[in-house]
Amino acid sequence: MKSIEEAEFNQFIHSVRNPLNSISLHAELGKMLIENQASTEEIKHAFTVILQQCKCCEQVIGDMRKNTHNDS
């Protein structure tokens, strides 16, 4: 059976990996939209999602930091 720390760490990895995947996909989409001269609104949306997902990563990392420092 996994220890609580290992399970929490695995959850942390999962919680960061999802927004990172979204960031990667939307960066690729943004690049394609620019290359295909898509509308400004479509391009803005792709970059808005990237910024939102970066904030999500920041929140997850901040929560992990708080939990790590509180456990000490």
pLDDT tens digit sequence for 30-51:
999 999 999 999 999 999 999 9
pTM of the model: 0.81
Task: Say which residues have a Cβ less than 8 Å from residue 23's Cβ, sequence separation at least 6.
Answer: 50, 53, 54, 57
Q: Which domains does the chain have, with CATH numbers?
A: 4-71 (1.10.287)
Residue 28 has pLDDT above 90, yes or no: yes
For the chain, what is the mean pLDDT?
90
Contact 42, 58 (CB under 8 A): no
Q: Which residue has the tokens 């760490």?
A: 9
